[in-house]
Amino acid sequence: MTGRTDPPLLTGEDLTLSFGPTRALTSASVNVHAGQVLALMGPSGSGKSTLLHCLAGILAPDSGRVTFDGRDLAAMSDSERSALRRSEFGFVFQFGQLVPELTCLENVALPLRLTGVRRRQAHRVAAEWLTRLEVADIADKRPGQASGGQGQRVAVARALVTRPRVVFADEPTGALDSINGERVMQLLIAAARDTGAAVVLVTHEARVAAYSDIEAVVRDGRVRSQEFAR
């Protein structure tokens, strides 16, 4: 249930995926519209991160179909999917996965540089996002010199710097205390709503899922329900 009459921006239909003898997804279906925040909820090992990786084109399902803006991801070439992940998809992971050799400013600018934006312009836009995420004071520091909460805000800035149409956030507060986690979620959702991005959020925490518009419960590789968040 989504309550929207316009076509979904991102859809996974009957996705099945196995790793050897282990079935990770079984006929899992989910969709998200432009500007919506979808929370994939479930216990550890339920398949929610695997589902996110299929929706993002990182993993290819054994069967089923993922479509983004009407385009079948399986019909795209590897280079087309890579380009999609560089420009129209943004990613926030549990531990940030920032490049340790680069400064925080350079980390945020990296997606822009990969799409051909000149260094000066990329750094200017990255600096704006660091300010927006309240970490402008660590722009010249390396990730190892930042706190966990600061590093995750840098990761959010990096995910949003290209103004993607979908942000994939896999347990974005899982390594943070409750205060830092709350602020990261506030900043992430506010920025995504301002840019019109959809968010696909993996979590097992109700306080994090509370930021969503739609909740989908994943258990044993199946989407048991998808309904409006309360």
Total-model pTM: 0.92
Q: 8-25 pLDDT, tens per residue? A: 999 999 999 999 999 999
Average pLDDT over residues 34-42: 94
The whole-number pLDDT of residue 229 equals: 60
Average confidence (pLDDT) over 141-166: 95
Average pLDDT in the chain: 93
Q: Which of 134, 135, 113 is nearest to 122 (CA)?
A: 113
pLDDT tier at 1, thresholds 50, 70, 90: very low
The strand pair at 71-72 and 222-228 is best described as unpaired
DSSP per residue, 69-87: TTEEGGGS-HHHHHHHHHH
Band the pLDDT of 44: cuts 50, 70, 90. Answer: confident
Is residue 171 a contact partner of residue 203, using CB atoms and an 8 Å limit? yes
Instruction: Give burial (CB, 10 Å; 0-12/13-18/19+) of 76.
Output: middle
pLDDT over 70 for what percent of the chain?
97
Question: What's residue 2's pLDDT?
Answer: 46
Q: Is the pLDDT of residue 105 over 80?
A: yes
The CA radius of gyration of the chain, in Å to the nearest whole number, is: 17
Give the confidence band of 226 by pLDDT, cuts at 50, 70, 90: confident
Over residues 165-218, the pLDDT tens digits come to: 999 999 999 889 999 999 999 999 999 999 999 999 999 888 999 999 999 999
